[in-house]
Amino acid sequence: MSAALRTRVLIVDDEEEILELLGEYLRTRGFEVVAAYDGRDAMELVRTGTIDAVITDLKMPDVGGMELHAEIGRLNRPVATLIMTGLGTVETAVASMRSGAYDYILKPFKLREVYASLCRALERLAQERERALRLERARFFEQANTMEHLADKPRLLGLLAAVARSDLQASEVALWMKAADGWEAVVRGGAVSSLADLRPALVAAPRLADGLLTAPIDLRGQRVGLLALAGFPEQEGALGRAVLLCRVTAEALARAGA
């Protein structure tokens, strides 16, 4: 199913058998699966920005499913949360849906029911992420078009990285700006593994190759910044969209007196 392509699912449960059963099944359905034994470890994984959906047990010794769900809800990037629960705690699971969880799964469950619930959640997630991207784009262009002071530069650069990453569905983003003593990484997001060793001074022109995209920010003929993204699906026009975002950023910086 297309919903499984590049979808990363985090399963959270303190029972190893559940992790193994669900993990093996979802991998056979084409999902990339990672696992955590409690909500605290799960939250660290979710904060990397590489998780699309979380299937979590409600009751766990340290941080439970409701606490994990609440933390996920505070993130800027929508993540689909599904709560696993026994019959005795259905009311709590229903309450979690009122607060934004996508669905709940009753234990003992049938694997095909988990799969169906996950697919429904991912369809809803795609719609929510598209809405979030439209809002991010609007905020970015509004900031760029109205920016008058360099004090607003950090916000503009943060929006640039967020919009570029969301638009390209990238797992990693990094943004460097040139300073008096060399290049400084001002924004990093996601796993940041492929981009960790990238040297912005060596990038001569916009480039899309080998799963890596780089787009420079040029101001008055001088290279002042570099946007880089990695871990995204092939898509037409990706480089052009990134270059446009960087060009709009350069124009905003020029108007603000950079």
Q: Domain spanning 147-255: which CATH class is it, in words?
A: alpha beta
Q: Domain spanning 2-129: which CATH class is it, in words?
A: alpha beta
Identify the pLDDT of residue 61. 84
Tokens of 220: 């008055």
**Exposed, middle or buried: residue 207 (CB in 10 Å: 0-12, 13-18, 19+)?**
middle
CA distance 8 to 53: 7
Identify the pLDDT of residue 1. 39
Identify the pLDDT of residue 15. 92
Please list the rounded mean pLDDT of every run of 10 residues in the chain (258 residues): 68 94 96 93 88 93 88 87 81 77 90 95 93 94 95 96 92 93 91 83 90 94 95 89 96 94
Identify the pLDDT of residue 2. 44
Q: In the chain, where are the structural domains located?
A: 2-129, 147-255
Identify the pLDDT of residue 200. 92
Identify the pLDDT of residue 258. 86
Identify the pLDDT of residue 88. 65
Angle at which helices 16-28 and 111-146 pack, to 10 degrees? 80
Identify the pLDDT of residue 247. 97
Least Cα distance to 67 among 87, 103, 42, 33 occurs for 42
